[in-house]
Chains A and B, each alone.
Chain A
Amino acid sequence: MRAAVLLVLSGCYVGNYRNLGGPFVGTRASVGCLDVAVALTDDELARAPIVAYELGNHCSHTTLVDFTAVRVTDGRRELPPIDPRHELRPLHLDAWSSGDERIAYASSTAGRVCVDLGRLDADHPGPPAWTCL
């Protein structure tokens, strides 16, 4: 029963950068309907830099999340996402739902990166919203 309840509640966004799993980790930004936290992370297989995104839709309607519109730079040039299976595409996030992704970016160094989240909410694109990590 406990597992069933957890499954039912998974993906719920309770607001204020929290889902039922706890608070979002990272630097926070609000873009359109999305509350987003971004942080650098690491992985056993993928090479840095890897950006971990946690997002929640605080609107009472679905919104379109477009990770392909997120720009990431290392201060000198724009870093393309590493997407060997060509999975990245705009997808809808339900109202009051949350999600998370980790995306690696092609860079020769693993230093500081800046992320522009301004167009992550494709239904409500805004001005550039840079967050440096």
Chain B
Amino acid sequence: MDVPVKALVIAVAMLAAAAPRAHAKGCHEVSAVVGYEHCSRFGTWSRDQPVFPLRVEWGWIHQDFPTRPFTLANAPVARAATVSGMPNTVTDGLSSRYLGGNRLFYGGLELDTSGLVQEPQFPSLPSTGISSSVLTIEGVHVSWWRFSIGAELATGLRATTYAYCNDTKNCPLSDTEASAQVDARIRLEVFPTERWSVGVLVGHSLLDATDRSFMVYTGIHLRAIDGMY
């Protein structure tokens, strides 16, 4: 089970737990009247119920960042990539975010996994690769009607593997570069319903002026509009 599917299953399970009227297996409701209910209770519709304001988001993330120097030293060909003249590495992939917070602040974890769509090229060596990031998120957000805007700081590590293949489609030449990631981001989202959002996010690294990211995402929220109003 890959990460997004697993996250969906977890989110659905938590939503189910937050919806006490959904009868649990083995609990037969005997009445729908306050005081007579067996499986439910008064006020399940209320925000005062103890529901953590978790939001889970999935999205497509595009990243464009400087290629760090790496070396391909394995036989049969040893090559070195140098900073000069190397294009930026560009990736497209999936991002999953697990956030929580209060009316103004939020924070959480972001996991990104992307394939390389642009990387340094070497003659007669087809290339491939993958980039993964683990980030912590701290941000502030405000809402207006069904829209919200937020600013956040994403800090963590990015690991990028560059792999080069030979004619037999083996890829013996590879190297993985790790780098710190500190991004300032702006997000704008709309809530078609109070527990479902769609948004865009634009990020810019505070460490390198040419390191940028863009994400389109959708999210589900255990608390309406994350309780921002």
Q: Which residues from chain A sit less than 8 Å from chain B, CB to CB?
A: 3-4, 7-12, 20, 43-46, 50, 60-62, 65, 81-85, 87-89, 91-104
Contact = CB atoms under 8 A, between A and B. Distances in A.
Interface of B: 8, 11-12, 15-16, 19, 22, 30-36, 41-48, 145-146, 193-196, 220, 223-225, 227, 229
Contacts of A46: 31, 33, 35-36
A38 B16 CA distance: 28
A4 B12 contact: yes
Contacts of B35: 46, 82-85, 87, 104
Given A87-B34, A94-B225, 16 more contacts: A8-B220, A43-B33, A45-B33, A45-B36, A85-B41, A94-B223, A95-B229, A96-B193, A96-B194, A97-B45, A97-B47, A97-B224, A99-B43, A101-B42, A102-B33, A103-B34
Contacts of A50: 33
B210 to A, nearest CB: 38
B153 to A, nearest CB: 28
A20 B193 CA distance: 10
Contact of B47 (A9, A60, A88, A93): A93
A3 B12 contact: yes
A9 B32 contact: no
Contacts of A98: 45
22 contacts: A4-B12, A4-B220, A44-B31, A45-B30, A45-B36, A60-B145, A60-B146, A85-B35, A85-B41, A87-B34, A87-B42, A92-B47, A92-B48, A93-B46, A94-B224, A95-B194, A96-B224, A98-B45, A99-B45, A101-B45, A102-B33, A103-B34
B15 A4 contact: yes
Contacts of B34: 81-83, 87-88, 101-104
- Can you list the 9 inter-chain pairs with the closest CB atoms, starting with the nearest? A99-B45, A91-B46, A87-B42, A94-B224, A46-B33, A45-B31, A7-B15, A4-B12, A84-B35
A9 B195 contact: yes
Nearest to B225: A95
Contacts of B48: 91-92
Contacts of A94: 47, 194, 223-225, 227
B222 to A, nearest CB: 9
Contact of A99 (B12, B46, B196): B46
Contacts of B146: 60, 96
Contacts of A43: 31-33, 36
Contacts of B220: 4, 8
A88 B43 CA distance: 8
A94 B51 CA distance: 13
A61 B32 contact: no
Given A60-B145, A104-B35, A12 B194 contact: yes
